[in-house]
Structure formats: C-alpha cells, structure tokens
C-alpha cells in the first residue's frame, strides 16, 4: 500500500512546485512589452541563489523564450540586458543547467546579443564556457567567433576579464593548439606586450615559442615582462608578468637558467609569499613558484635560500595573523576558505621545494611543527588541502633519512592508511605512491603497516580501472615482498590470487607489467621460497614467461622476465621446470646471442645458475646444455666487448672446467 501511495504524492509535490514557477514563464508571453520586462526582472529576483527555482524554470521552457527575446530587434536594450542577466543566473546553477542551456543553443544567441548588451552577455558566456560540461570546440569551430570577441576586448576592464577567462579555459583543454595559436596571433597583432596573453603559454610549447620570439617596439617580449616585475610596478602586474614567464619556461621556450627566470621571475614570486601581501597574492605566488621549479633541482635550491622562503611559508599556517586580518576583514574575506587556500598553496610549494634535495627536505621537516601540520592536513575536510598535504608527504618520503626519523616519530603511516580507505582517485594515487616509499626495506614504518592488514587493500588497488592506481598497488606489493619472510610472500600470493597476478602480467600498461614482473622477481628469491612458489604455481609462471619472451615487448620487459627465469634457475627443485622445457632452453639460447647486451647478460646468468657445480645434478645439466650448443655460445661471449658480459660468460665456463 505504501508503495502505491508514493508516486501520487511525488506528482502532487512536483505540481505544486511547478505551479509556483509557471506564472514567471507565462508573463514572458504577455503582449505588453512593459509587462514582459517586469516579468523578466521578477524572474531574475526569484532565481538568485535558488537552484530549485532555476531548475523549475528550465523545465518549464523559460530558456527558449528568454533567448528569443534576447535576439529580437524589437526588444528594448533594457529587456535584452535583463534576459542576459537571468540566463547568466541560470548558468550559475548545476552542471545540468549548463547542459540544458547549451542544448538550447545559448552560445550563438549570446554572441549575437553581445553586440548590444555586451557586459551581461559576456558574463553569461564566461559562466557557460568555464563549465567542464561545455564543449570548448564551440569557441573555435566558427572562424568568426574569436575575432568577434577580440573586437570587444578594448571596451572595458570587465570585457577583458571575461573574454580572457573564456580563452584561458579553452586553451587549457587538450586539442586546442590551433585555437590557442589563433588567439595568440590576434593578441600579438592587437595588444603587443599586453600581459593578458600569459594564459596562452600554459603547457603549450607551440604558443610559447611563438610568444618568446615576439618583438615589442624592437624589444623581446620576455624583457617587457621583466620590466613589469620591477618593484615599483603594481603587484598585480608583477605577478601576472611572473606567471607569463613561468608558463613560457615550463613549456620549454625559456631555459630554467636564463637570467630572466633565476634573477627576476623566481625572486618576484618569492616576494609574493610575504605575509604583507594580500591573501590571493600569497596563494597565487606560492602556487606559481611551485609550478616554476617543480622539475628543476637548481631552481629549488636557489628558492630555498631566497628570503628565508622555507620559514616564511610557515606563516601560511598562522592565518589570520594581526597583519593579514585587518586588511582581509575590510575585503570581506572568508577566513575558512582563506585558511584552506593558504595551507594548500604552502603544501604545494613545500612539495616542489623538497622533491629532489636532501638538505631542503631536512630544512622543511625542521620547520616549526611541520610534520604535525602535514599529519593534520591529511584529515582535513577540504579535498584540495588533503591532496596538497599528501603531495608534500610524498615529496618528503623520497628521503631515506626522513623515513627513518620524522616519518617514524610522527607515525605518519596511520593517517595515510586512513586516507587510503575512502578518498577520490587523485588523492588515492598520491597516497598509494607515498605508501610505496614507506614500504621500502629500510623504512621503520614497514612492519606496523604490514601488521595493519594492508595487503588486501593493495591487492584491491591492482584491480582499479586507473593505470596509476594499478601501478601503485603492485609497486607497493613489490616493495613489501623484497627480502620478506615466506609468510608475507605466501599471504601476498594468496590475497592477490593467481588469476589476478597473471592478468596483471598481460596488462596493456607497460608500467603495470614491469612492476608485476618486479613483484614476481622479489617473490622468487631465496631457494626455499622459489621452490615453494614454483611447486604451487610453476606451470602458470612458466607459461607467462613464455608469452612475454615471445611477445612484442620492450627490452626492459624482456630483461626483467629473463631475470625471473634466472631466479627460477637458482631454485633446487624449480630449475627442473627449465631443464625439462626444451622450448624454454632454446629461448634462453636465442637471447644469449641477441644484439642487446642487457638481454645477453640476463640469459647468461640463467645458464650460469643451471650449471653451477656445487648443486646436485649439475653434471647432467651441464652435459645436456653442452649437447645443445650452449658451451660454444659461452666461449664466444668470453670474447665480448662488454666487460660485464665477458666476465659472466667466463664464470659460467669455469663450471665446465672445474
């Protein structure tokens, strides 16, 4: 009975809601233009901050009528403007609202409307275009759109802001290089040296190379930006010019050791991190600096000793301070949001600073309460802060010293394990990557992590649709298996399951395959472990090895596979799985004569293990391999130009002479 009553109840509620919204739409069709205008104004007031009302009006068909009124030449300028304002408000609702607006062809209508009510139409266009659900192709499939928007740039500061935000978003999306180039040339032609073109260089080498060669009144564009970073220039100009040069540098158009980067851009961005700067300037400065030096260890070293940057960043965790509070209160800054933005920026910059240099990592961890702040950040409600905190932890986890000291003292593995239980994929990827480092043999955290039941969690990661998570899951298991006791190895094989293990050995992602081979190699180490695992799974492992050696794989993959075969050959009983498989012996013989030295070395190592004199049955194995022509190959390899291969072949030959 309850189920039967449920549907009519919902219909009743929906009817009541839509009835309260219907009169707004009905008034759009009033024959009196003044009544229509008042109806649009009332609709505008009704939808502000009310997502339910926005959804109702879209369902009731308000959008087509508003677009019609916007495009009619008989509509007054005031009516057109109010229609554009309402459409902009509807666009600020949910992503479904945006989809509905795009489906109603709002973009062509707004572009046409921008000829009359420029400000309102551009603001609405900006809202639509920066949404992730809007196809950016709509910007550049029509060749008239970009020139039209370019023509509106000089109207006001607001038009510049909205149009550049539209271009910025569209140029950051993949496959828009031609669009970016089109915009770049337009900017160069119309606004030589204007800093609003900085976003075009973001991760776009082609555009960056175009910009770096631009001359403005005979001066290189990069030097124009250098002048804009002088201390007497407005802060906004300094920061934007620094971003221009940062993006061009990261795209490869400017060298990281160029003076305009080392002596101008980097110091300018460090200045922006000072507590005297406004909140958004500190955030933007830190995040841009982190991006600038992320791949370059020398820039990281320079930054770490510039204006006490490492200790300066500690102030980001003390917001609001007496200095910042007064300024930001006057600007109605949301303190909770401000705290999160600053902490996120600080964690990002610390992560970038400490990604390579051991001394910098030590300096970071010795900064006041730094490890406590990272641990606290891992459990923050803000996903962005959590992600930045785990990035920072990952950067520091590359240090053997920190793994043995700070990480152990603060038991960082506990909040990290908690983070892995329930988090978005981007957080999971970074957290699991950090866990890989904590599971290295020399890490004191390895044992308590093992005791926490992490194996099941890691095995579940190997089944993820995300290649990065599969890699990290198998990588962590590989580290765990290194020099582990037999109990741990058996538990890994049990939890992972043979089906999943061999599924990973055929994974299309090479990184997953390489880490799986690494895991198998670590599992098959020490003779008792080799014999125990091969007695249970030898047939499947030998099949997997055969498939890889016969397949179209890289040298690195085949080398790792031959190393696994060499480990099997080191087992007491396991080596018979090779000796009784003539097809496998022929494959080893083939790789001993391969043109790649790495493969020759691995294959020769395998034969060396098979014929080792001190083991039972060695004479029979030597005789069989001699009859198959292996001695002749070894003799040739003793003359090899590679010293390692030559020595390995001589060591093997000595087993026959002993």
Instruction: For residue range 61-79, list pLDDT tens digits in order.
Output: 999 999 999 999 899 999 9
- Are 440 and 398 in contact by the 8 Å Cβ rule? The answer is no
The pLDDT score that the predictor gives to residue 5 is: 30
CA 381, CA 371: separation in Å to the nearest integer? Answer: 18
The pLDDT score that the predictor gives to residue 326 is: 52
Residue 413's CB is within 10 A of a number of other CB atoms, namely: 22
- Burial string for 349-369 (b: 16+ CB within 10 Å, else e) reads bbbbbbbbbeebbbbbbebee
| Phi, psi angles (nearest 5°) of residue 628 | -85, 0
- Are 567 and 524 in contact by the 8 Å Cβ rule? The answer is yes
Which tokens sit at 505?
């050995």
* Residue at 495 is within a domain: no
* Residue at 183 is within a domain: no
pLDDT band per the 50, 70, 90 thresholds, residue 147: confident
pLDDT band per the 50, 70, 90 thresholds, residue 324: low
Residue range 218-270, pLDDT digits in tens: 778 788 889 889 999 888 888 888 988 999 999 999 999 999 999 999 999 99
* Residue at 554 is within a domain: yes
- Burial string for 8-35 (b: 16+ CB within 10 Å, else e) reads eeeeeeeeeeeeebeebbebbeeeeeee
Q: Between 434 and 187, where is the model more confident?
A: 434
State the sign of the Cα–Cα–Cα–Cα dihedral 359, 363, 364, 370: positive
Residue range 589-599, pLDDT digits in tens: 999 999 999 99
pLDDT band per the 50, 70, 90 thresholds, residue 457: very high
CA 361, CA 359: separation in Å to the nearest integer? Answer: 5
- Residue 489 forms beta bridges with which residues? none
* 78-82, 132-136, 439-443: the lowest-pLDDT one: 132-136
* Residue at 200 is within a domain: no
* Residue at 623 is within a domain: yes
Mean pLDDT, to the nearest integer, of 291-304? 96
- Which residue, 586, 567, 568, 588, is CA-closest to 577? 568
pLDDT band per the 50, 70, 90 thresholds, residue 134: confident
Find the helix packing angle between 643-657 and 618-627, rounded to 10°.
Answer: 120
CA 614, CA 348: separation in Å to the nearest integer? Answer: 56
Residues in the chain: 658
Mean pLDDT, to the nearest integer, of 417-445? 93
CA gyration radius, the chain: 33
CA 362, CA 5: separation in Å to the nearest integer? Answer: 67
CA 118, CA 95: separation in Å to the nearest integer? Answer: 24
Does the predicted TM-score (pTM) go above 0.85? no
CA 351, CA 396: separation in Å to the nearest integer? Answer: 7
List the domain range (segments joined by +) for residue 560: 534-657
- Are 610 and 578 in contact by the 8 Å Cβ rule? The answer is yes
Mean confidence (pLDDT) of the chain: 86
Which tokens sit at 446?
């390895």
The pLDDT score that the predictor gives to residue 208 is: 79
Which tokens sit at 181?
């180039």
Which tokens sit at 473?
């899951």
Does the pLDDT at position 177 exceed 70?
no
The residue assigned the tokens 């050791």 is 257
The pLDDT score that the predictor gives to residue 116 is: 74
pLDDT band per the 50, 70, 90 thresholds, residue 615: confident
Q: How many domains does the structure of the chain reveal?
A: 1
The pLDDT score that the predictor gives to residue 6 is: 34
- Are 249 and 233 in contact by the 8 Å Cβ rule? The answer is no
- Are 351 and 397 in contact by the 8 Å Cβ rule? The answer is no
- Are 106 and 128 in contact by the 8 Å Cβ rule? The answer is yes
CA 501, CA 332: separation in Å to the nearest integer? Answer: 56
Residue range 334-380, pLDDT digits in tens: 667 888 999 999 999 999 999 999 999 999 999 989 999 999 999 99
* Residue at 403 is within a domain: no
Report CA-CA distances (Å) from 256 to 290, 294, 296, 474: 14, 11, 7, 35
The pLDDT score that the predictor gives to residue 10 is: 34
The pLDDT score that the predictor gives to residue 143 is: 75
The pLDDT score that the predictor gives to residue 498 is: 85
Helix, strand, coil percent content, the chain, rounded in steps of 5:
75, 0, 25
Mean pLDDT, to the nearest integer, of 541-547? 92
Half-sphere exposure at residue 38, Cβ-oriented, CA atoms within 13 angstroms: 7
CA 95, CA 604: separation in Å to the nearest integer? Answer: 61
Query: What's 564's domain CATH number?
Result: 1.25.10.10
Percent of the chain at pLDDT exceeding 90: 63
* Residue at 203 is within a domain: no
* Residue at 651 is within a domain: yes
Strand ranges for 210-317 from DSSP E? 215-216, 219-220
């Amino acid at each position: 009975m309850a189920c039967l009553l449920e549907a009519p109840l919902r219909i009743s509620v929906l009817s009541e809601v839509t009835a309260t919204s219907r009169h707004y739409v009905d008034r759009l069709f009033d024959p009196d233009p003044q009544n229509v205008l008042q109806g649009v104004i009332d609709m505008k007031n009704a939808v502000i901050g009310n997502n339910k009302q926005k959804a109702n009006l879209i369902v009731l068909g308000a959008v087509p009528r508003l677009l019609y009124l916007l495009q009619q030449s008989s509509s007054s300028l005031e009516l057109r403007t109010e229609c554009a304002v309402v459409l902009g408000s509807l666009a600020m609702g949910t992503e479904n609202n945006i989809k509905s607006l795009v489906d109603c062809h709002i973009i062509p209508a707004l572009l046409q409307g921008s000829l009359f009510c420029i400000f309102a139409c551009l603001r609405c266009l900006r809202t639509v275009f920066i949404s992730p659900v809007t196809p950016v192709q709509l910007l550049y499939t029509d060749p008239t759109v970009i020139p039209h928007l370019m023509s509106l740039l000089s109207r006001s500061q607001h038009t510049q802001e909205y149009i550049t935000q539209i271009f910025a978003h569209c140029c950051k999306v993949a496959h828009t290089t031609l669009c970016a180039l089109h915009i770049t040339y337009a900017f160069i032609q119309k606004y030589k040296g204007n800093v609003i073109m900085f976003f075009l260089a973001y991760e776009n080498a082609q555009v960056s190379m175009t910009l770096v060669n631009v001359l403005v009144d005979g001066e290189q564009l990069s030097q124009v930006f250098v002048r804009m970073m002088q201390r007497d220039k407005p802060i906004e100009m300094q920061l934007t010019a620094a971003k221009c040069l940062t993006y061009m540098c990261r795209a490869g158009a400017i060298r990281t050791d160029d003076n305009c980067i080392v002596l101008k851009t980097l110091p300018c961005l460090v200045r922006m991190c000072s507590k005297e700067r406004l909140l958004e300037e500190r955030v933007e400065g830190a995040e841009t600096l982190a991006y600038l030096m992320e791949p370059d260890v020398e820039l990281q070293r320079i930054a770490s000793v510039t204006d006490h940057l490492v200790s300066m960043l500690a102030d980001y965790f003390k917001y609001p301070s007496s200095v910042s509070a007064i300024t930001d209160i006057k600007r109605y800054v949301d303190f909770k949001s401000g705290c999160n933005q600053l902490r996120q920026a600080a964690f990002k910059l610390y992560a970038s600073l400490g990604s390579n240099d051991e001394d910098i990592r030590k300096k970071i961890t010795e900064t006041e309460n730094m490890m406590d702040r990272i641990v606290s950040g891992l459990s923050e409600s803000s996903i962005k802060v959590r992600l930045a905190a785990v990035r920072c932890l990952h950067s520091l986890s590359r240090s053997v010293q920190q793994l043995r000291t700070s990480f152990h003292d603060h038991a960082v593995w506990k909040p990290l394990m908690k983070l892995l239980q329930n988090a978005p994929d981007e957080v999971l990827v970074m957290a699991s990557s950090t866990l890989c480092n904590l599971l290295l043999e020399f890490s004191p955290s390895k044992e308590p992590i093992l005791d926490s039941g992490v194996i099941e969690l890691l095995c579940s990661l190997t089944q993820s649709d995300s290649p990065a998570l599969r890699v990290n899951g198998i990588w962590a298991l590989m580290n765990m298996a290194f020099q582990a006791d037999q109990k741990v190895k058996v538990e890994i094989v049990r939890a992972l399951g043979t089906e999943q293990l061999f599924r990973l050995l055929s994974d299309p992602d090479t990184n997953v395959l390489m880490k799986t081979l690494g895991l198998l190699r670590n599992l098959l180490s020490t003779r008792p472990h080799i014999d125990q695992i091969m007695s249970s799974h030898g047939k499947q492992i030998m099949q997997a090895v055969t498939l890889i050696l016969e397949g179209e794989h890289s040298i690195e993959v085949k080398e790792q596979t031959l190393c696994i075969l060499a480990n099997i050959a080191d087992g007491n009983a396991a080596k018979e799985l090779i000796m009784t498989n003539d097809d496998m012996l022929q494959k080893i013989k083939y790789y001993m004569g391969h043109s790649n030295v790495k493969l020759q070395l691995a294959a020769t190592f395998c034969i060396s293990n098979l014929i080792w004199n001190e083991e039972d049955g060695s004479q029979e194995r030597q005789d069989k391999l001699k009859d198959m022509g292996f001695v002749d190959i070894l003799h040739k390899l003793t003359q090899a130009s590679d010293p390692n291969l030559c020595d390995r072949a001589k060591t093997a030959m000595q087993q026959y002479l002993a």
